[in-house]
Amino acid sequence: MTDALRADIVEIGRRLWMRGFVASNDGNISVRLGPDRLLMTPASVSKGFMTPDMMVVTDLEGRLIEGAPGRKPSSEALMHLVAYRERPDINAVVHAHPPLSTGFAVAGIPLDRAVLAEVVTTLGSIPIAEYGTPSTREMADTVAPLIKAHDGVLLANHGALTIGRDLYSAYYKMETIEHFAQISLVARQLGREHLLSREEVARLQGLRGTYGIAAPAPICQDPEPGSAADPSCQVVISPEAPGERLVPDSNFAPGAVSVGADGEIRLTYAQLTELIDEAVRQLAQKGPEG
Ligand SMILES: [Zn+2]
């Protein structure tokens, strides 16, 4: 069985590298071998060119149990250990730096809007774990509270982490997150992001049961953007009613007033001047005692 898992890690590493989800020696992959045993990628190797004999075996504290001479566990193993500790139901962890998801993580924009039915049904939302220096305990601690209710997490100014019942399930979630980030970016560049309604999100959540999709946690009732996160549910941002726009449309037409998601209105200099002139004109008409 270990041989098959070693081969799976090699194949997933190759896919991560081929798709540009990692550069240089970035990223790491691990899988449970037993109650206190993990098989994981070693430190300092390109994930695109691994061989099965490179993998190391550790315990759940990250101590090296077995490995070829000179091979050490990944420097980011701590993050994996936290995921296994918090989620006894999962058996595999994948970490990479896919450029679009990582771009959202750098911008501080979580992938938590009800945009794609498929994503709402499977992953729910992908929140951002606060920044922690990579490979430190601090980094691992920022992941712990979020990994309880999510199978995918963005890591601020760093990358993404996914978990699953097996290696391929964890890897496919990484693909889904990057694909979701790409679609979200295009929709935002086009200036329109129509969200699924709260009602539709509830219907999609119902499908999880119907199709036996293992979701780590339910979607939060009435999630309020900006409110303190409830660690036991997933925040999926969706408008109350169909057709209601949570995110106002904006576009690039000259002269258009753009409204940001935070309610901030952006005006050109000419538009601002026009508004001031109009206000002055109205004041002048009313006279000083108005
Ligand atoms: Zn990393």
259-281: pLDDT as tens digits: 555 556 667 777 788 888 888 88
| Mean pLDDT on 182-208 | 93
Ligand 1 center to 214 CA (angstroms): 26
Instruction: Using CB atoms within 10 Å of the CB of residue 187, give its burial: 0 to 12 exposed, 13 to 18 middle, 19+ buried.
Output: middle
Lowest pLDDT segment from 22-31, 44-53, 58-67, 134-143: 134-143
CB neighbour burial string for 24-43, b if at least 16 within 10 angstroms, e if fewer: eebbbbbbbbeeeebbbbbb
pTM listed for this prediction = 0.82
149 within 8 A of 217, measured Cβ to Cβ: yes
Tell me how far the alpha carbon of residue 136 lies from the centroid of ligand 1, in angstroms: 11
Q: What pLDDT does residue 163 have?
A: 98
**Would you place residue 252 in the very low, low, confident or very high pLDDT band (cuts 50, 70, 90)?**
very low
Q: How far is the CA of 131 from the centre of ligand 1 (A)?
A: 12
Tell me how far the alpha carbon of residue 234 lies from the centroid of ligand 1, in angstroms: 24
Find the 25 Cα to ligand 1 centroid distance in Å. Answer: 9
Q: If you measure from the C-alpha of residue 70 to the centroid of ligand 1, how many angstroms do you get, rounded to a whole number?
A: 21
| Ligand 1 centroid to residue 228 C-alpha, Å | 27
Distance 134 CA to ligand 1 centre (A): 7
CA of 45 to the centre of ligand 1 (A): 13
Residue 241 Cα to chain centre, angstroms: 26
Pick from 121-130, 174-183, 198-207: least confident: 198-207
